[in-house]
C-alpha cells in the first residue's frame, strides 16, 4: 500500500488562515447583528443577543480616551502580526491566529464605522457583551497561556 505524503503547512500560514477565518466570521456576524437585532433576544438560559456598541477596548476600557485606545490597540496589533511570522507550530499557531484575527476584526469594525465603535452582540449573564473577535482574542490568549504554563515555546528560534 502506497502512503500519501502528509501536507505540512508552515505555522505562519496556519495562523494566517485561522486569522482570516476569524475576521470573516466576525465581519459577517457583526453585519448580521446590526441588520437583525433590535430588542434583546434570549437564546438559551443566560445567553442573549443584545446589540451594543463599544468605543473602548475590551470590556469598554479606555472608552473615555478613544484616541489613546486606538493607538494602543494598533501598536499591540502590529506586535501580534510580527509575532505571527515567527510562531511555533501547533497550538501556538492557532492561538496567535485567533488573537490576530480578533484584533483585526475589531480594528476593521472601528475603522469602517462612522462613529468609530465596535459592534458587540453576545451577552452571557452578567459578563460584558462581546463579539466573535473578542472571543477569538480571549481563546487565543488562553491557548498561548497554556503553552507558557506547560513550557511549550510560542515562537520559533530559527
Catalytic residue among 26, 27, 109, 120: 120
> Cell 505555522 appears where?
11
**Torsion over CA: 98, 103, 107, 110 (sign):** positive
Q: Cell numbers of 21, please?
A: 477565518
> Is 134 one of the annotated active-site residues of the chain?
yes
**Apex 33 CA angle, 101 and 24, nearest 5:** 25
Kindly give the residue spans of alpha helices, DSSP state H, lying in the chain.
Answer: 11-36, 66-85, 91-112, 132-149
**Which neighbouring-strand residues pair with 153?**
none
C-alpha cell at 29: 456576524
Choose the catalytic residue: 134, 137, 140, 144: 134
Residue 127 falls in which region: left (phi positive, over 0), alpha (psi -120 to 50) or beta: beta
Q: Which residues are catalytic?
A: 120, 134
Amino acid at each position: 500500500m502506497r502512503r500519501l505524503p502528509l501536507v505540512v503547512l508552515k505555522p505562519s500560514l496556519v495562523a494566517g488562515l485561522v486569522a482570516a477565518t476569524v475576521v470573516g466570521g466576525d465581519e459577517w456576524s457583526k453585519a448580521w447583528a446590526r441588520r437583525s437585532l433590535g430588542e434583546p433576544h434570549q437564546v438559551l438560559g443566560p445567553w442573549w443577543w443584545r446589540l451594543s456598541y463599544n468605543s473602548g477596548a475590551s470590556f469598554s476600557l479606555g472608552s473615555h480616551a478613544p484616541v489613546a485606545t486606538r493607538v494602543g490597540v494598533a501598536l499591540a496589533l502590529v506586535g501580534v502580526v510580527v509575532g505571527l511570522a515567527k510562531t511555533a507550530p501547533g497550538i501556538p499557531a492557532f492561538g496567535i491566529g485567533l488573537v490576530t484575527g480578533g484584533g483585526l476584526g475589531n480594528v476593521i469594525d472601528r475603522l469602517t464605522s462612522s462613529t468609530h465603535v465596535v459592534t458587540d452582540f453576545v451577552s452571557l449573564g452578567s459578563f460584558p457583551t462581546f463579539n466573535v473577535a473578542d472571543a477569538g482574542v480571549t481563546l487565543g490568549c488562553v491557548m498561548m497561556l497554556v503553552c507558557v504554563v506547560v513550557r511549550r515555546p510560542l515562537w520559533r528560534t530559527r
